[in-house]
Amino acid sequence: MTGAVIRFLGAALPEYDASSRYPVVLLGQAISALAQPLIIFTPTKLAALWFPVHQRTTANMLASMCEYPISPDICLLATVGVRSSVPPTSPSPSAQSSPEPFLQGLKLNRAYLVLMLCLGSGIASFTCFSSLLDQILCVQGYSNEFAGLCGALFIIWGIVGAGLLGVYVDRTKKFIEVTKINLSLSSVACAAFSVQAAVAVVCSLFGFFGFSVYPVAMELSVECSYPVGEATSAGLIFASGQVQSVLYMFLLQSLTTPLAPTPGSMCGEGPQSWRVPLMLLAGLCAFFTSVFVLFFRSRYRRLEAEEQASRPGVAGPFPTGLGLAQPEGATWGRPHVDPPPVG
């Protein structure tokens, strides 16, 4: 919230004082970036601790998508309104389990490593797409307003798709199938964007298929890495995406070729051709999507642990390998015994 206020003040400075505007806006951006890890990592943990099994993906979707239209009043309400880290009653057995150290739990988990690499590449592609959209469309003769419209369509249709996927996955638990299909379709949309075909439509499809799968993939990361902590498994994937996005940005910008400036162009004195970088970006999307589709195999570890915890006739502590240490007074999976008759 503080970063947003500083950015607003920087943008409100007089236009003739441009040398002062940029440092102020950059300072606000840096302060906001300090809060980004908490905001990005929180939804998966929030869904695990506060919501039952049939609502977790929808909760993750709502929290993840609200990161984009977020406003200072929401920040203020969250700051003064949230007073407890966990609900009074645990919504699921896994919500009370003790997380396993992440190095011990992830070092031999091939499925998670594949997911971290491939989904991180997808996050990097979306970051490059949203960051470079103005420059890419400008050299094609599109205005800044049209580029902003395409960016808005990307986010809006992503939110719509995320809402549909969240409800569907909560009912079916098909995390792997939904993630593979949507990443494949988003790769097709990225390839279509590289040839500048129906730009606004392609941006909408890119958001609908690619941006919307993010909360589902975050839940999948928890399912394949359980009992590692939810924030850790989701956070490492996002960190992988941030590192790859930096590499992608430098690589794509280094492959641009200069174009001759045209009269009246709004792209500055040195417009660049993005044909080769866009084809490379489409190729990277297709490659990592293929790797994920072909090599990702995993059980739903958290769902299996919760099913075992609620299985009738299972008494006593649960296997420590599942991270389900039964707390005192818990009755997960214990058979119901009628009390003895009085007298």
pLDDT higher than threshold 50 for residue 321: no
The answer to whether the beta carbons of residues 11 and 21 sit under 8 Å apart is yes
CATH 3.30.428.10 fits 36-71+92-259+271-301, yes or no: no
pLDDT digits (tens, 9 = 90+) for 157-189: 988 988 898 889 988 989 999 999 999 999 998
pLDDT classification of 312: cutoffs 50, 70, 90: low
Cα–Cα separations (whole angstroms), residue 48 to 33, 37, 62, 95, 267: 25, 18, 13, 6, 47
Q: Is the pLDDT of residue 3 over 60?
A: yes
Strands (E), the chain: 257-258, 272-273
What is the reported pLDDT for 53?
84
Q: What is the mean pLDDT of the chain?
A: 79
Q: Is residue 130 over pLDDT 50?
A: yes
- Helix/strand/coil for 124: helix
Give the CA-trace dihedral at 141, 146, 151, 152, to 10 degrees.
Answer: -170
Considering 61-70, 143-152, 252-261, the range whose residues carry the highest mean pLDDT is 143-152
In which band, very low, low, confident or very high, does the pLDDT at 104 lie, cut at 50, 70 and 90? low
Structure tokens at 51: 């919501």
Q: How far apart are alpha carbons 12 and 72 in whole angstroms?
A: 17
- Whole-number Å distance between alpha carbons of 72 and 100: 36
- Supply the pLDDT for residue 93: 73
- Which stretches within the chain are classed as H helix? 2-12, 18-50, 56-65, 72-81, 102-106, 110-138, 144-172, 175-194, 199-209, 214-225, 230-254, 275-295, 301-309
What are the distances in angstroms from CA 33 to CA 16, 29, 155, 304?
27, 6, 19, 37
Segment 285-297 shows an average pLDDT of: 92
- Residue 117: name the closest of 286, 277, 283, 238 by CA: 238
Per-domain boundaries in the chain: 36-71+92-259+271-301
